[in-house]
Amino acid sequence: MPPVADPKVDANIIEQVRSQVLDILHPHYDTPFNFLRWLQSYEFNVSKTVHNLRKHLKWRKERHLDEDARGLQSSAVCLYSVYTLFILCCVRSYLKKYFRLKVTAEYAPLSVVGWNRHEGGNYLVVVDQSGRIDIGGVMKSIQPTEYLHQLYRNFENFLEMIMEQEAKTGAQCSLLYVFDLDGLSFDPMLLGILSGPFRVSWQSLGTHYRELIGKFIVINTPSYINVLWSALSPFVPEQAKSRITITGRTWREDLLELAEVECLPERYGGKIPDEKVFRDPKPVPKDLYWRPKPDYPSVASMHRISTPAGKTRTMTYFAETGTELQIYTQNDSDFSFGIFYSEKEVRGITVYL
């Protein structure tokens, strides 16, 4: 975590930032430590902080994150009744109990261990068991956007817990994020996921949850960890790299340097029973895999195109008045597209991929 300036200076700078974002600031997010995190991220440069914080606050407002998070997609909506959804939308405190919705809670869970008393007790210990996640099953059943939005829900939950702790202690808090790769097997699709959905997800989290992760430790690393890190490290900011610890065979000792045994589960050498904190990932049932509907056209009949990552492609179609357009897509990874209509210049529809 970057060094904190003198408290009096902090108060003055925080007020400078706060006064310039009041028009889009929700009362729920209005805490000194939230401003301090953004200032630390931009080395106390007020203009840069205000510029980026305003974008974040607009992003929060569009998704109603300080109310009921109804602007986020959910892959588990079908698991709740209409009545339950009505209650979730109306009662904010009730909604927070369901931030870890069933789909990701079972197949890609994050476990909150609790507050670490080491170094002043300002770290919330969170365990990500990515090594045991059925990555292929998740990719085949949950759209990347839905998965990313669930990560937002998780981090909103962490932020809420941190804000409550900061209000109690009067001290800045952050996450001790334990990234457990136990059980990870090398799969040909792994590097593609790392450089694709995984990279995009974590870059987005880093953009919006500045300074929330104080320390990030990778444990149970496989023999090919250098291959994975080589694929991922070019996308990791230098500022973030200083907080990442990639351990080897002595990972238990390394972890105990960051957290006390009273704050860790038994499988990590701690004293907390595993069943109290862990919800181990389950394989995704194949009946949850996405399948095209019976009336969808076959893949063979579709116009096949290839668009490299980060690139765009334009396709123009001409349509007569009264023509009904049906657009079907089946793609290997997440993408965005827009449809534009013009009568004079293009006389058709242009699709940007």
Is residue 349 helix, strand or coil?
strand
CA-wise closest residue to 231 among 186, 179, 193, 191: 191
Q: Please tell me the predicted confidence (pLDDT) of residue 317.
A: 79
Note whether 322 and 257 are same-domain residues.
no
Q: What is the pLDDT of residues 249-260, one digit of tens each?
A: 999 999 999 999
Structural domain includes residue 2: no
C-alpha 237/C-alpha 140 separation (Å) is 30
Inform me whether the pLDDT recorded for 99 exceeds 50.
Answer: no
Q: How many domains does the chain have?
A: 3
C-alpha 65/C-alpha 26 separation (Å) is 10
Structural domain includes residue 117: yes
Structural domain includes residue 288: no
Boundary residue ending a domain (31, 48, 63): 63
Note whether 186 and 255 are same-domain residues.
yes
pLDDT > 70 fraction of the chain, expressed in percent and rounded: 83
Half-sphere exposure of 232 (CA within 13 A, CB side): 21
Note whether 230 and 90 are same-domain residues.
yes
What is the CB neighbour count within 10 angstroms for residue 32?
A: 15
Residue 110 main-chain phi, psi, to 5 deg: -115, 130
**Could you tell me the two tokens for 330?**
């089946």
Inform me whether the pLDDT recorded for 268 exceeds 60.
Answer: yes
Strand partners, 125: 114, 176
Boundary residue ending a domain (63, 78, 111): 63
Inform me whether the pLDDT recorded for 311 exceeds 90.
Answer: no
Structural domain includes residue 291: no
CA-wise closest residue to 249 among 278, 225, 271: 225
Note whether 195 and 250 are same-domain residues.
yes
Domain carrying residue 191? 86-276
Note whether 264 and 117 are same-domain residues.
yes
Structural domain includes residue 1: no
Q: What is the pTM of this model?
A: 0.79
Listed range (4-18, 97-111, 218-232, 279-293) with the worst mean pLDDT = 97-111
Inform me whether the pLDDT recorded for 16 exceeds 90.
Answer: yes
C-alpha 27/C-alpha 31 separation (Å) is 8
Half-sphere exposure of 280 (CA within 13 A, CB side): 10
Note whether 302 and 259 are same-domain residues.
no
Identify which of 139-148, 254-263, 311-320 has the greatest average pLDDT: 254-263
CA-wise closest residue to 280 among 150, 177, 183, 139: 183
Q: Please tell me the predicted confidence (pLDDT) of residue 121.
A: 61
Note whether 116 and 218 are same-domain residues.
yes
Note whether 239 and 135 are same-domain residues.
yes
Note whether 113 and 218 are same-domain residues.
yes
What are the start-end ranges of the E strands in the chain? 110-116, 123-128, 174-180, 213-219, 244-246, 314-317, 338-342, 348-352
Q: What is the pLDDT of residues 322-349, one digit of tens each?
A: 888 888 777 766 677 788 877 765 544 4
Largest CA distance in the chain: 72
Inform me whether the pLDDT recorded for 188 exceeds 60.
Answer: yes
| Degrees, nearest 5: CA angle 58-60-65 | 155
Note whether 191 and 330 are same-domain residues.
no
| Residue 59, domain CATH | 1.10.8
| Cβ 266 vs Cβ 272: under 8 Å | yes
Note whether 32 and 103 are same-domain residues.
no
Q: What is the pLDDT of residues 35-73, one digit of tens each?
A: 999 999 999 999 999 999 999 999 999 999 999 888 887
Residue bearing tokens 């001409």: 318
Rounded to whole angstroms, what are the CA distances from 88 to 67, 71, 104, 142, 259?
Answer: 11, 13, 18, 22, 35
Note whether 139 and 227 are same-domain residues.
yes
Structural domain includes residue 196: yes
| Residue 234, domain CATH | 3.40.525.10
